[in-house]
Amino acid sequence: MISIQHLASVLDALPDPCFILSRSGKYVAVLGGKDSRYYHDGSGLVGLNISDVVKPEKANWFLDQISQALDNKKLSIAEYELSNKDVLGLPDEGPEQPIWFEGRIQALDFLVDGEEVVLWVASNISERHELETRLRILSDTDQLTGLFNRRRMQHDLALHYQTFVRHDIPTAILMLDLDNLKQINDTLGHHTGDKVILAIANICRSQLRQTDIACRFGGDEFVIALPSIESAHAEQFATRLCESVKAELASFSTSGIEATVSIGVTTMLAQDQSYEDALKRVDNALYQAKRNGRNTVVSV
C-alpha cells in the first residue's frame, strides 16, 4: 500500500509542474516541476494570484481557461506561450523566442477555502512547437522561390472568399505568367530560366503589403491576392508590376527575347460560388493578355 506520505513524494517528483489553482486565479499549491532543464522552482507562487505574476491580458486568458474547465467538468487542453514580456517585474530584454506550453486543466471535486479548484499540468513543448512550425512552413512554401505554394494559396483564397461573403470586404486576384520561358530555357538554359522565375518572385515580394500574399501557382505562373483592394486599384498595381518586371529583368533579355510577364486581374464578385470561380475568371484574363501580345494586363 502506498501511504499518503509516499503519494506526496511521488507528486513532488513529477517532471512537469502541476498547479492547483482556484477559480479566482489563486495558486493554492505547486507540485512537481523537477525537470530542471525546463522549469524553475515554483513554490514561491503559492498564495499569489495569477494577476500578480503575469500581465492583465495573459492573466485573463488563464482565468478563462480555468472557468471553462470548472464549468465543463472535462479535461481541457490548451497550448500557450509565455515570454519575459508576459511576466510582471521582468525587463523586456531577454530571449526572442517565447516558451510554449501545453496545459492540461481538470476540475477537482473539492473546494479550497470555499472555492472551486483545478489541477493545471504544464508541459514545455517548445521543441515540438518549433518543429511543427518548421514543417508547416515547409509544407506551405515553394522550394525555388520561397513564396507560398499552391496548397497554401487555396487555403488563403478560401478564407478571403468567406470574408468577402460575410463582410463584403473585396479581394483582388492577379495571375501572372512569364512570357517566353521556353525560348529563354532553350537559348540560355533551364538554370537561367529558374533565375528569371526567382527574380519575378522577388519583385512580387518587394511590392506587396503585409496583408497581401503571393504564391507560385506552378511552373512560371504566380497568383497574388490583394485583400481590401478594388478592381481599379488592382489593375494599377498589376500595371506597375508588369513595368517593374520588364525593367528589372532587362539583363535576361537577349536575341530578341524579352523577359516579361502577362497579367490577368479580377476581384471576387457577388455571383461567385467559391474562390475557384474568381480563379477561373482571372485565368481566362491571363490568357487574353497572352493573346493580346504579352507584356500586358487584362482586367475582368
d(CA 60, CA 164): 32
User: Are 150 and 218 within 8 A, CB to CB?
Assistant: yes
d(CA 183, CA 7): 77
Counted residue by residue, the chain has a size of 300
Among 81, 119, 117, CA closest to 102: 81
d(CA 123, CA 119): 13
Active-site annotation holder among 220, 272, 277, 283: 220
User: Are 225 and 169 within 8 A, CB to CB?
Assistant: no
- CA angle, corner 69, sides to 66 and 64, nearest 5? 35
Among 210, 225, 232, CA closest to 176: 225
Is 109 a catalytic site residue?
no
Q: Which residues are catalytic?
A: 220
